[in-house]
Structure formats: C-alpha cells, structure tokens
Structure 1
Amino acid sequence: MSGKFVYLQITYCIITEKIHRLKIYIKNMVCVRCELILKSVLEKAGLQYSSVKIGEADLISEISDQQREELNESLKKSGLELLDNKKSILVEKIKNVIIEIVYYSEDQIKENLSDLLSAKLNYDYTYLSNIFMKVRGTTIEQFFISQRIERVKEMLVYDELTLTEIAYRLQFSSVAHLSGQFKKVTGLTPSHFKKIRLSRRNIPGK
C-alpha cells in the first residue's frame, strides 16, 4: 500500500507541475478585446489553448523557451507581455480581480475589497498590499479608485446614466463621494468632464 501511495504522490506532483507549466500569465489585459488579441496571437503561433481569460491562458501543449520568446515579442506589438516573475504574476492577478469587479460584475459587492481579494487569491491582504506596493509603487486602494474613476468616465459619456445611478452601480457611498473622488483624480467635476467629452464627440473628425 505504501508503495502505491508514493507512486500516486509522484504522479500527482508530475501532473500538477505539468498543468502549472501549461498556464501562462499576461500583463496589461484589461478587456474582452485583449482576450481576442491573445487568442489571435496564440493561433498564429500555432499554440492550442483550452481557455483564455483576462490575465491568463491555459495551453493544451507545453511551450518551449523559443516559442515563449517569440510569443512574448508578438504580444508586445499589441501592448501585452508575458509574465514570469511570481510577484509580478500575483500583482497582475490583483489587478485583474479589481478590473473584473469594476467593469464586469453586475452584483453589488457584499464584502470589503480586502476580504474579497484575500478570498479569491488565498493570501493575507497585508501580504498582497505589500507586494502590490513594491511592484507598482502605489497602493491597491489607489489602483481601485483609479479604475472606478475610469469606469465613471465611460458611464458618463456612453451609458447616459445619472450620477445617482452611477454612484449606486459602482457602490460609492453618495453622489457627493463620487464627485469628490472624481475631481480629486481628474481635476474636473463629473458634469464638466461630460460636457467637454460630449462637445469633442460632436466636432467632425474627432
């Protein structure tokens, strides 16, 4: 029995290591368009994949060092980049969770951002926060705020929602809170920003 157990352990380790090698992580993926770009690059490189999502892809076959280098060069042409450093990969995972929350989640967040990140990534939030600061030079909270403001900009111009509706969807405590953070980040009030962007859209050639 002990011999079989050791054999199963070794087999499990080999399979786990192989699965780990087949997953690649990509920097700067922020939208569905990035997923389409990655799929196209992988297909042109002759690399089959089982899944592609923001920040990562699962390949069906192993990738050689030369293929990895060529893939990275192709990705860089579209503003993307392969990640190898463990800390950078973790930071990218943090960013991807935040982007998913801000841009793609239809549900209201029922827990603190710190608790949510810890639960999704299986790390203590203090550790995540320290790694993020060391790699990015900014805090997780500041990155979260910047992404929310970028989303507010989109919703103001394209979704034709009121500030009250936007504040509710993005879980600002109030319209005043939204407006205050917006002006702090952009230097403009939301209404002034919307007026400028809409006027530019109405100018021919813009």
Structure 2
Amino acid sequence: MMVKSELEQFGLHPLTVELGMAEVERELSSEEKKLLNQRLEKLGFELIDDKKTRLIESIKTTIVEIIQNPAHLPKMTFSEHLSGKFHQDYSALSKLFSEVQGVTIEQYVINQKIEKVKELLVYDELSLSEIAHQLNYSSVSHLSKQFKKVTGLTPTHFKQVKENKRTPLDEL
C-alpha cells in the first residue's frame, strides 16, 4: 500500500503492485527513476531496474512466499517449481543466484525454512513433528539436523532458550 501510494503521489498510475514488484503504465526517464528511488528509499524500499537483479528478487520472493505459506508448498521440488515459473533451466537460475547472492538457492531455501521453524517454535503452537510435516521435511530427525547445522542449537534447546534468535527475512 505504501509503494502504491508513493507511485500515485509521484504521478504514476500503477497497473499492479504486489510483493517485490510494481508495474506502471509508462517507461520512466533516468531522472524519474532516480527521484522515485530516493522517495522509495525513505520508506525502506528500493527501485530495482536491472533485469538480473529483478530475476533474483523474484526468485527470493517466490521462495519466501512458499515457505511463509506452507499450505501452498508445491508438490514438486523447489528446482522444478522455479524452473517452471521462470521458464529457465534450473542450473542457469542457480548459477546466476549464486553469483549475485553469494549463496546457493538450496542454502537460501534452507535458511528461510529454518527461520520459519524458529518462528513456529517461538509461537509454541505446533509440535516439532507437526512443523516438520508442515515444511515438507522427510523426518523430524532431518529437520533437527539441519536446524542444528544452521543455528548451532537443537530445536528443543532453542525452544527452551526462547531468546530472540530469529534473523529478519531481509537480512538473509
């Protein structure tokens, strides 16, 4: 809503505004892009105009949306889902993602899933078994091993400590 409002105040008529992307009626000049970017930065956003960067941000947004809405987890692998959604070979997407982000798509997915596990553990509404099932882990053991590898703590110990061990999603 903030981005849509800012675009309208800037004199643009957004066609669509969704998580990580906005489409406007016309092409912006370099000066307009610069001014709009300054206004968006004041709100904590940034204008991304580079095609590769937009693709990377779209991949990240897709991964976050899937993990934050576990009921919508695809019945296919992330690689199949991303390849189909972006109509590109997964190895090309993976290579580009690694070059730009400095981390593989797989590691990014793991980090996002572990953050979701932390969130669910802090809420203390689901058992570890239910969390593992909800996030498509093959077993509680697999979730626990991955959690310990990433955080240095077992899920049980993390739950007992209940300190703010979560990392904001935009810092991953």
Which TM-score applies when normalising by structure 1? 0.73
Partner SS, residue 83 of structure 1: coil
Unaligned runs of 5+ in 2: 166-172
Partner SS, residue 192 of structure 1: helix
1:86 to 28, 51, 67: 51
Give the greater-gyration-radius structure (CA): 1
Matches within 5 A, 1:23-172: 36-158=1-123, 160-172=125-137
Q: How many residues align?
A: 165
Unaligned runs of 5+ in 1: 1-35, 201-206
The verdict on how the C-alpha distance between 1:191 and 1:96 changes in structure 2, with shifts beyond 3 A counting, is same
Partner SS, residue 28 of structure 2: coil
Q: Percent identity?
A: 49
The verdict on how the C-alpha distance between 1:178 and 1:155 changes in structure 2, with shifts beyond 3 A counting, is same
Partner SS, residue 108 of structure 2: helix
Structure 1 distance, partners of 2:129, 2:155, is 12
Greater Cα offset, 126-135 or 106-115: 106-115
What is the CA RMSD across the aligned residues, in angstroms? 2.1
Structure 2 distance, partners of 1:108, 1:135, is 25
Structure 2 distance, partners of 1:158, 1:66, is 46
The verdict on how the C-alpha distance between 1:90 and 1:108 changes in structure 2, with shifts beyond 3 A counting, is closer
